[in-house]
Chains A and B, each alone.
Chain A
Amino acid sequence: MGRKILLVEDDRETAAYLAKGLGQEGHSVERATNGQDGLFQATDGTFDLIILDRMLPVLDGISVLKALRAAKVETPVLVLSALASVGDRIEGLESGSDDYLVKPFSFAELLARVNALLRRREARLDPADHRISVGDLEIDPLSRIVRRSGKKLELKPREYLLLEYFARNEGRVVTRTMLLEQVWDYHFDPGTNVIDVHVSRLRRKLEDGFDKPLLHTVRGAGYMLAA
């Protein structure tokens, strides 16, 4: 289902590339090329998501973000930035953004995050019942009990968090960086395949003894939980 996205980006090439890609995904994209215009359009409040470049002419992204939050505009904001240090990321997140993506990024990474943010908004808008089910997999976030086809699965606490995050993004691609940030709350890039190791462990617990795979690898992007 297409959503309304505001893209505030001064770099013409990046903006065109992103708008085209998001358009192909069925979203309608409005564009602003400086912070002031972006803030003006964003306070309109009818967007489902705002993609905000951090370094903008006239008014920088962080100021736009702070002004938006001060004006009680709660639209999810994804900040794009060429500032890649851990400190910059933390600052970006602390100033009220919902996600922070460092340039350069793959479109797959951006799309995964956009979808996760849109999904979070949906979830916020219509509070569903607590149980999450994906095919024959059932997750109870309150008791943290996971069953597949009625059989209880023994998961370690971190494995449970990983699975819950996958389940909340059912049918959507989740990237390694998203997992590191959301499940472990680390904002640096570990050199090794640490995320892959954890995902394959979780996959073994989910799929061993069952025919149907649940946790899929999406080449060049990340993973996806889908029945």
Chain B
Amino acid sequence: MLAGVLALLSNLVVLGFIQWRTHDEAVSAQRRQVVEQGAVLADIHRTGGMRAIGDGIEDMLTYGDPQTAVGLFDPSGREVMGNLAALPRTKGPIRSGYQTALIRFQGQTAPREAAMVALRLPQGQWLISGRTVGYGLELRDTLERSLLIALLGAVLLGLAGGVIVAQYVGRRVGSIVAVTDRISASDLTRRIPLSGGGDAFDRLSLQINEMLDRISALMEELRMVTDSIAHDLRSPVSRLQSAAYAAAKTSDPGERDQQLSSIVRQADSLMRILTTVLEISRSEALTSRSQFAWFDVGELGAELSEMYEPVAEEAGTVLQFERPGAPIELFGHRQLIAQAISNLVENAMRYGAKGGEILVRVSQHGSKLDIAVGDHGPGIPEERRGEALRRFGRLDSSRSEEGAGLGLALATAIAHLHDGELRLDDNRPGLLATLELPMTRRLAGA
């Protein structure tokens, strides 16, 4: 509405200015010309008399433009010379000097508006010289008329456009607001409908929808994690609690010591869960990229395999390391990659030890780096692998064992920190867990 008023006002101002300038200029130019022309004829008459006037009129008719009106009328009003059909009609009786009048050219029927100078000669004749209201004034009139029409059109179009745009914007914004309102009312399932036109509103809506998808995914994960943490912390806490009760009740120092060390163990396992959860969120926040540096992943793999080899042996299996032919340099977080590998190895030993040897392999495929840990245990059925990667997504429902199912989630978060992925495949039989990392120069934030 405001836009319409403003458009109208600015149109009026422009129109007024044009009108004022053109009118003024056209009228003054015309008047000057007509007055000069009259003065010339008066001069001719004064110096040369009637004979000279006749020549002057001839000249004007010969050399003048079609706007030129000239005529010599006898006192009765009949034309003696010139191109006029009759004495010009004026408001009131014709008088000497500059005035406007309606004139009629010879051979024409329609009178035309003209500015003229009338000169009363001594014998009572009228010498008329003037110019029809020329292109300038006509142009001005046309301009004025067109501008007026244009203005009217502009105002109408502006108003109509304003109404349409306001309605359109109102409708689109309304649909966005409706959805954001629902979100404020904590309903994250709604999405903004798209018009399909790909305009700015669609782009905005698309962005908002994507944002909502991400938020609801995060919310869902958060809810699951919170649930799982609450669930997973319950059993160590309750074991801790019962050990504390038992320690408080007993009078046997040996029994009390045993309960106390059980308390310490349970507290340790609680701390481990919390630290790992924290480590996952830190990795996801990408803050530790500032600690990235170059290191040889093959060397790290060898070191970790050497560290776990005796543990595997105690567990009754063999850990094999397949070393790459050449050093594989990665720009990454050595400690966290070490932790990811160690999680995969421990996972393999926990679930796959009974099935035979565990293989750790570091290899390069073009610009990609694979760190694979394979076991020959029961593996994970394909449809449950996604679940296994999630926080607390441990597949045995009993949750009695230590480890809380965070190992694969942490390995995934560390892979993401390096712009990579953790892939789970069938090792035929067993599980093949592969950290797939791009060997790019530098990652954002590193």
Asked if B308 and A194 sit within 8 Å, CB to CB, the answer is yes
Chain A stretch 189-210: residues in CB contact (< 8 A) with chain B: 189-194, 197-198, 201
- Chain B residue, CB-CB nearest to A84: B275
Asked if A85 and B342 sit within 8 Å, CB to CB, the answer is no
Of A22-30, A37-45, A62-70, A86-94, the one touching chain B: A86-94
- Chain A residue, CB-CB nearest to B343: A191
A184 interfacial by beta-carbon distance below 8 Å: yes
- In the complex with contacts A191-B402, A192-B349, A90-B310 CB distance below 8 A: no
B336 interfacial by beta-carbon distance below 8 Å: yes
Asked if B346 and A190 sit within 8 Å, CB to CB, the answer is yes
A186 to B272 CA separation, bound complex (whole angstroms): 16
- Chain B residue, CB-CB nearest to A91: B291
A220 interfacial by beta-carbon distance below 8 Å: yes
A220 to B268 CA separation, bound complex (whole angstroms): 12
Q: Which of A90, A184, A192 contacts B311 (CB 8 A)?
A: A192
Q: Which among A84, A102, A104, A219 has the highest number of chain B CB atoms within 10 Å?
A: A84
Asked if A194 and B311 sit within 8 Å, CB to CB, the answer is yes
A216 interfacial by beta-carbon distance below 8 Å: no
Q: Which of A186, A192, A194 contacts B335 (CB 8 A)?
A: A186
B220 to chain A, nearest CB (A): 24
A87-B282, A186-B342 provided; 19 other pairs, C-beta below 8 A?
A: A84-B275, A84-B278, A86-B288, A87-B291, A87-B336, A88-B282, A90-B288, A106-B264, A188-B279, A188-B338, A190-B346, A191-B346, A191-B402, A191-B407, A194-B307, A197-B314, A198-B307, A219-B261, A220-B261
A91 to B407 CA separation, bound complex (whole angstroms): 23
Q: Which among A88, A184, A194, A219 has the highest number of chain B CB atoms within 10 Å?
A: A194
- In the complex with contacts A189-B272, A191-B403, A85-B278 CB distance below 8 A: yes
Q: Which of A84, A102, A158 contacts B306 (CB 8 A)?
A: A158
Asked if A86 and B339 sit within 8 Å, CB to CB, the answer is yes
Closest 10 CB pairs of A and B: A87-B288, A188-B339, A85-B282, A84-B275, A86-B335, A197-B310, A197-B311, A85-B279, A194-B311, A187-B335
Asked if A184 and B282 sit within 8 Å, CB to CB, the answer is no
Residues on the A chain within 8 Å of B407, using CB: 191
Asked if B264 and A86 sit within 8 Å, CB to CB, the answer is no
A194 to B272 CA separation, bound complex (whole angstroms): 15
The count of A-to-B residue pairs whose CB atoms sit within 8 angstroms is 72
Residues on the B chain within 8 Å of A201, using CB: 310
- Chain B residue, CB-CB nearest to A103: B271
Asked if B272 and A191 sit within 8 Å, CB to CB, the answer is yes
- Chain A residue, CB-CB nearest to B313: A197
B166 to chain A, nearest CB (A): 53
A193 to B336 CA separation, bound complex (whole angstroms): 19
Residues on the B chain within 8 Å of A193, using CB: 311
- In the complex with contacts A85-B275, A191-B272, A184-B307 CB distance below 8 A: yes
A8 to chain B, nearest CB (A): 24
B287 interfacial by beta-carbon distance below 8 Å: yes
A40 to chain B, nearest CB (A): 30
Q: Which of B274, B278, B291, B346 contacts A90 (CB 8 A)?
A: B291
- Chain A residue, CB-CB nearest to B312: A197
Asked if A189 and B338 sit within 8 Å, CB to CB, the answer is no
Asked if A86 and B279 sit within 8 Å, CB to CB, the answer is yes
Chain A stretch 37-84: residues in CB contact (< 8 A) with chain B: 84
Asked if A220 and B264 sit within 8 Å, CB to CB, the answer is yes
Asked if A188 and B278 sit within 8 Å, CB to CB, the answer is no
Asked if A104 and B271 sit within 8 Å, CB to CB, the answer is yes
Chain B stretch 286-328: residues in CB contact (< 8 A) with chain A: 287-288, 291, 303, 306-308, 310-311, 314
Residues on the A chain within 8 Å of B303, using CB: 184
- Chain A residue, CB-CB nearest to B410: A188
A191 to chain B, nearest CB (A): 5
Asked if B342 and A190 sit within 8 Å, CB to CB, the answer is yes
Residues on the B chain within 8 Å of A188, using CB: 279, 335-336, 338-339, 342
A192 to B348 CA separation, bound complex (whole angstroms): 12
10 contacts between A and B (CB under 8 A): A86-B279, A86-B339, A87-B333, A106-B264, A186-B335, A188-B279, A188-B336, A191-B407, A197-B311, A220-B264
A194 to B264 CA separation, bound complex (whole angstroms): 19
Residues on the A chain within 8 Å of B339, using CB: 86, 186, 188
A148 to chain B, nearest CB (A): 21
Residues on the A chain within 8 Å of B271, using CB: 104
B308 to chain A, nearest CB (A): 6
Asked if B311 and A189 sit within 8 Å, CB to CB, the answer is no
> Binary interface profile of A, 163-193, with partner B (CB < 8 Å = 1, else 0)?
0000000000000000000001011111111
- Chain B residue, CB-CB nearest to A189: B272
A94 to chain B, nearest CB (A): 8
